[in-house]
């Protein structure tokens, strides 16, 4: 089995060269980073670009650093980079907890978090976590630089706010004291796409962010559940109230990995466990990051 | 397109098409046969190679992406005889058909390079993306754990 489609391949050495290639080409174009989705899609004939622009030689896109209290994550930061980063461990361990659940070591070494949200499949692990972090996506294109609120990023199944001639350069996350949790349901531990996923952040004074993966055409945030939790100390009744809202907030399908009803029921359980864990983590207790809750 | 690549310490310069996949170029142009053609979509791990020190799926990399990079396969880590890990795989009777073995040797090598004394869970996690349909994994995990204990002495 080979890639049947013929295409041109370019590996620009600067961001300007990359944006120029994307702006001035004929036919369709794809941006290549880790390639773990893109090359699989090429092999499947799911996409047939005329040009592939490999951004791996563009300087600066590997940066993973703090600017004050803002976390800067370059477009080429891999899931392994997140797992091995001291900055992530100290300031945003939720990112590592999520990254550890992605595929396998050989994929994590190559796959990028930005590529994950550009592919934008419903089960993309980065989606729920970047949603609860109120992330900003930074792009550059023929009309210059722009930024997109992550809440406006996912616009449909495998569709994002990025246009074909734009490159995501980096993500930024404004960090303050928080506890986080990513709960991912898989058919077996180790290597699988999510059957359902829940990402939650707890901030001081009973403020929460809640998002779901693999239970709608895109990763989705639940403002209604966040509003129901706001300002109230978490107790069993409040956890049950939030869990009871799940069914109306998500719209899972039945497919080879799980039935819709199973996804609803398990998402309720995962939200309950996640809310307890994230509240404990904010207080400095609770299960260590990386502990599987389901 | 020109591809300059180092494979198991040897420099190669080839003319490849953009659509050529690294796995196929390694096997058919360079003659390195240990990376296997399995699922061809990144799930099974049989095409695993080490690229610049880290395992990657050679079925999901265009050959041109490897331009200027260094690839190591099982052939490359066995030049001076088998590694301790490989010897322990034999002693533990870890493999049967052997199709998954090159990928597992490389994934375990990467693990031990980064974590010389891994726990059972570490080994399971490191090998989770390398599917074996013969053994049930236990003799494979036992061998890697034994290699880890040896490394810590």
- Going through chain A in order, the beta strands assigned E by DSSP cover 8-10, 29-32, 51-54, 64-67, 70-74, 136-141, 144-149, 154-156, 159-160, 167-174, 179-185, 196-203, 207-213, 220-221
Q: Residue B151 pLDDT more than 60?
A: no
The chain B residue lying nearest A1, using CA atoms, is B40
Token pair, residue B97, equals 């058909």
Same domain, A215 and A276: yes
CA distances from A57 to A7, A18, A137, B2, B130 (A): 19, 10, 21, 16, 29
Same domain, A139 and A44: no
Domain that holds residue A271: 179-282
Residues with Cβ within 8 Å of residue A272, at least 6 apart in sequence:
A239, A240, A242, A243
Asked if B40 lies within 8 A of A1 by C-beta distance, the reply is yes
Question: Which residues of B fall within a CB distance of 8 Å from A35?
Answer: 60-62, 65
Asked if B55 lies within 8 A of A35 by C-beta distance, the reply is no
Rounded to 10 degrees, the C-alpha dihedral A140/A143/A148/A152 comes to: -130
Confidence of residue B70 (pLDDT cuts 50, 70, 90): very high
Same domain, A162 and A202: no
In a domain, A168, yes or no: yes
Same domain, A38 and A72: no
**Taking CB atoms and an 8 Å cut-off, how many pairs form between chains A and B?**
93
How many angstroms away from the CA of A89 is the closest CA of chain B?
17
Asked if B54 lies within 8 A of A109 by C-beta distance, the reply is yes
Asked if A35 lies within 8 A of B62 by C-beta distance, the reply is yes
The chain B residue lying nearest A48, using CA atoms, is B19
Q: What is the pLDDT of residue A26?
A: 84
For residue B18, give the nearest of A1, A7, A189 by CB distance. Answer: A7
The chain B residue lying nearest A101, using CA atoms, is B125
Same domain, A42 and A68: no
The SS3 assignment for A219 reads: coil
Same domain, A185 and A244: yes
| Whether the Cβ atoms of residue B54 and residue B87 lie closer than 8 Å to each other | no
The domain spanning residue A19 has which CATH number?
3.30.43.10
Give the mean pLDDT of chain B.
95
Question: Which residues of A fall within a CB distance of 8 Å from B56?
Answer: 106, 109-110
Sheet holding A196-203, edge to edge: A179-185, A196-203, A207-213, A220-221
Same domain, A111 and A163: yes
Question: Which residues of A fall within a CB distance of 8 Å from B21?
Answer: 2-3, 39, 43
Under-70 pLDDT residues of chain A: 1
In a domain, A3, yes or no: no
In a domain, A216, yes or no: yes
Same domain, A24 and A112: no
Q: Residue B24 pLDDT more than 90?
A: yes
| Whether the Cβ atoms of residue A120 and residue A160 lie closer than 8 Å to each other | yes
Q: Residue B153 pLDDT more than 80?
A: no
Which A residues, 218 through 257, put their C-beta within 8 Å of a C-beta on chain B?
none
Choices 3.40.50.300, 3.40.50.150, 1.10.150.120, 1.20.120.80: CATH for B84-152: 1.10.150.120
Q: What is the pLDDT of residue A190?
A: 80
* Residue B90: exposure state from Cβ atoms within 10 A (0-12, 13-18, ≥19): exposed
Alpha-carbon gap, residue A28 to A30, rounded angstroms? 7
Mean pLDDT of B36-64: 97
In a domain, A137, yes or no: yes
In a domain, A288, yes or no: no
Same domain, A72 and A33: no
* Cross-strand partners of A24: none
In a domain, A291, yes or no: no
The domain spanning residue A153 has which CATH number?
3.30.465.10
Considering only CB atoms, which residues of chain B are within 8 Å of chain A? 1, 17-21, 24, 40-43, 45, 48, 54-57, 59-62, 64-65, 67, 107, 110-111, 124-126, 128-130
Residue intervals in chain B for CATH 3.10.20.30:
2-77
Same domain, A125 and A93: yes
In a domain, A287, yes or no: no
Alpha-carbon gap, residue B5 to A278, rounded angstroms? 47
* Interface residue A42 vs chain B (CB under 8 A): yes
Residue intervals in chain B for CATH 1.10.150.120:
84-152
Token pair, residue B137, equals 């994994």
Q: Could you say which of A174, A194, A225 is where a domain stops?
A: A174
A162 CB-side CA count, 13 A: 27
Rounded to 10 degrees, the C-alpha dihedral A275/A82/A258/A160 comes to: 100
Alpha-carbon gap, residue A120 to A113, rounded angstroms? 11
* ipTM, two decimals: 0.95
Overall number of domains in chain A: 3
Q: What is the pLDDT of residue B149?
A: 76
Question: Which residues of A fall within a CB distance of 8 Å from B63?
Answer: none
Asked if A105 lies within 8 A of B57 by C-beta distance, the reply is no
Residue A203 burial (CB count, 10 A): 14
pTM over 0.80: yes
Alpha-carbon gap, residue B18 to B64, rounded angstroms? 6
Same domain, A74 and A167: yes
Q: What is the pLDDT of residue A1?
A: 64
Same domain, A70 and A148: yes
Alpha-carbon gap, residue A189 to A195, rounded angstroms? 12
CATH class, range B2-77: alpha beta
Q: Among residues of chain B, what percentage have pLDDT more than 90?
A: 95
Q: What is the pLDDT of residue A191?
A: 86
Question: Which residues of B fall within a CB distance of 8 Å from A3?
Answer: 19-21
Q: What is the pLDDT of residue B150?
A: 54
């Amino acid at each position: 089995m080979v890639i049947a489609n013929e295409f041109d391949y370019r590996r620009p050495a600067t961001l300007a060269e990359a944006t120029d290639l994307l702006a001035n080409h004929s036919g369709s174009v794809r941006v290549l980073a880790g390639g773990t989705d893109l090359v699989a899609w090429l092999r499947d004939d799911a996409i047939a670009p005329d040009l592939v622009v490999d951004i791996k030689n563009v300087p600066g896109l590997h940066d993973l650093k703090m600017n004050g209290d803002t976390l800067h994550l370059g477009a080429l930061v891999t899931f392994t980079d997140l797992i091995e980063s001291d900055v992530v461990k100290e300031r945003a361990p939720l990112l590592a907890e999520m990254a550890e659940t992605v595929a396998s070591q050989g994929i994590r070494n190559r796959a990028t978090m930005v590529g994950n949200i550009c592919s934008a499949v419903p089960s993309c692990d980065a989606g729920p976590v970047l949603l609860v972090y109120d992330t900003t996506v930074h792009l550059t294109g023929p009309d210059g630089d722009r930024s997109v609120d992550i809440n406006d990023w996912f616009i449909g199944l495998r569709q994002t706010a990025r246009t074909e001639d734009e490159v995501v350069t980096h993500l930024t996350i404004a960090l303050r004291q928080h506890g986080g949790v990513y709960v991912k349901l898989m058919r077996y531990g180790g290597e699988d796409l999510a059957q359902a996923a829940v990402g939650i952040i707890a901030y001081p004074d009973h403020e929460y962010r809640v998002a779901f993966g693999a239970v709608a055409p895109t990763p989705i945030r639940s403002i209604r559940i966040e509003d129901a939790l706001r300002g109230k100390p978490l107790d069993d009744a409040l956890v049950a109230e939030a869990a009871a809202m799940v069914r109306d907030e998500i719209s899972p399908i039945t497919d080879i990995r799980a039935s819709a009803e199973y996804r609803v029921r398990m998402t309720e359980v995962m939200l309950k466990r996640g809310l307890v864990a994230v509240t404990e983590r904010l207080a400095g207790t609770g299960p260590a990051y990386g502990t599987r809750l389901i | 397109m020109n591809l300059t690549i180092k494979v198991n310490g040897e420099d190669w310069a080839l003319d490849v098409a953009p659509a050529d996949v690294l796995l196929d170029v390694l096997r058919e142009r360079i003659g390195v046969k240990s990376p296997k053609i399995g699922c061809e979509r990144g799930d099974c791990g049989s095409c695993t190679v080490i690229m610049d020190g880290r395992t990657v799926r050679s079925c999901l990399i265009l050959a041109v992406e490897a331009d200027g990079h260094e690839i190591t396969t099982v052939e490359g880590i066995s030049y001076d005889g088998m590694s301790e890990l490989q010897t322990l795989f034999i002693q533990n009777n870890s493999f049967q058909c052997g199709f998954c073995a090159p990928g597992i040797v490389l994934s375990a090598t990467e693990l031990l390079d980064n974590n010389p004394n891994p726990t059972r869970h570490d080994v399971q996690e490191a090998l989770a993306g390398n599917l074996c349909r013969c053994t049930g994994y236990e003799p494979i995990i036992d061998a890697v754990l034994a290699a880890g204990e040896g490394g810590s002495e």
